[in-house]
Amino acid sequence: MLRVVHFLHGRANPNGTNGGDRVIYNLAKCTAELGARVFVFGLSEKAPLTIGRAVVQNFHPPRDPFSLPSILTKTLSGIRPDVVHFHGVYTPRNVRLAHWLRREGIPYAISPHGGLMEEVLARGWLRKVTYLALLGRSFCRGASLIHCISPAEADAVRPFSGDAPAIVAPHGLEGTDLHSLDRGVLLRQYPKLSGKRIFGFLGRLDPAHKGLDLVVEACSRIRPSLSNVVIILAGPDWKNRTLALRRRVAELGLQDTVLFIGPRMGQDKFNFLASCDVLIHPSRWEAGVPFSVLDALELGKPCLVSSGSFFGDFFQQHAAGMQVLPTKEGVARGLRYMAEASTDQLETMGADGRQAVLREFSWERTAQKLLHAYDHRHSWLSQEEGSAGAPAVA
């Protein structure tokens, strides 16, 4: 039985706002269901969360960001995993543990979670490039496997990973129970939405990244076309960056068109999506898969996405909504189209999108692909060790 350890900083909370936690949760849960012996080890002072059949254990993180709790390496020594799967590339403790694993002859995999994409590197460029030069590049090149969610990410990883092979396996769906959804929650909370077409955004309220400033400016340009539309922005503020956006909404007199309702997590986020007529996701760029778009497609909601999102090819191949350029003009064109589309048109888009996403995005398929890659790399390394008399990964 293949033994897999997922290592993270924090807890894999599927109901939190961190998409990486959701990825770890689902990968661990599905690989365990497929027969692997799965462990999820987190550095956190909080109590561990249950993840299906996986064994979950949290370790108290030392104050020194380069140190590891001794009980962690002792536990790993006792398990002797076939692979340790890291998540993220900018954490010194990952590098420290990777060094220990190489000495022990234990291979490791890395999911960068978009951390090496050009747009991510551009934010805090000097700090990230310095870290990669000192620690990150050797960490990536020592991996037996790099897990990427798209061909674009595999291309972005290559300059840092050297000969480490990359496997492309996108994120998946979680099988939302459509019968459990409360589709009337927004109307009960905000009665003035009655009779309006609801366009919803769900995610981190980072205006520059997510293109929310483009939405506000577009609304101002096509105000008459949106007389029957309300745009609801649901999510946590990001570093107080929505203050200027709220101010701009007020300056343009759009308080009745653009509403801020705060975070929606757990079941509430699915009820929010179910209450919307259209999901909008006009991000300037995305390093990973926007889970809100995946969730909305699964619920049969038509989507307005930008060409900067992960879903460019998907929306070109399937009539699941509309794809636009991440510009004021592009977003305005998309909002007008969705506002003027008939109810039947929206329902057809939603149905087509749901069928397509159910076919193409599966956690089970991704977990199977990773298990096969883990097993292949572990066997290859074992052969190398036997022929060379020393671990193949230096």
What pLDDT is stored for residue 266 in this prediction?
87
Tell me the pLDDT band of 312, cut-offs 50, 70 and 90.
low
Residue with tokens 């036997």: 386
Tens digits of per-residue pLDDT, 126-140? 999 999 999 999 999
Q: Which residue has the higher pLDDT, 385 or 57?
A: 57
Tell me the pLDDT band of 113, cut-offs 50, 70 and 90.
very high
What pLDDT is stored for residue 348 in this prediction?
97
Residues 6 or more apart whose Cβ sits within 8 Å of residue 7: 41, 42, 84, 85, 86, 87, 94, 97
| Calpha distance 322→223 (Å, rounded) | 20
In the structure encoding, which two tokens stand for residue 336, read together? 């007008």
Q: Is residue 82 within 8 Å of 3, Cβ to Cβ? A: yes
Residue type, 337: Y
| Calpha distance 326→308 (Å, rounded) | 7
Domains 3-172+362-388 and 178-360 share a fold: yes
CA distances, 10 to each of 42, 76, 77, 256 (Å): 6, 18, 22, 39
First to last CA, the chain: 26
Q: Is residue 70 within 8 Å of 47, Cβ to Cβ? A: no
pLDDT at 99 over 50: yes
What pLDDT is stored for residue 269 in this prediction?
93
pTM of the predicted model as reported, rounded to 2 decimal places: 0.84
| Calpha distance 50→70 (Å, rounded) | 24
Q: What is the largest CA-CA distance in the chain?
A: 74
Q: Please state the domain extents for the chain.
A: 3-172+362-388, 178-360
Residues 6 or more apart whose Cβ sits within 8 Å of residue 15: 265, 266
The matching CATH number, chosen from 3.40.190.80, 3.40.50.2000, 3.30.950.10, 3.40.190.10, for 178-360 is: 3.40.50.2000
Region 273-290: what's the mean pLDDT?
92
Tell me the pLDDT band of 390, cut-offs 50, 70 and 90.
very low
* Burial environment of residue 286 by CB neighbours within 10 A (0 to 12, 13 to 18, 19 or more): buried
Residue 76, φ and ψ in degrees, nearest 5: -65, -40
CATH architecture of 3-172+362-388: 3-Layer(aba) Sandwich (3.40)
| Calpha distance 181→88 (Å, rounded) | 33
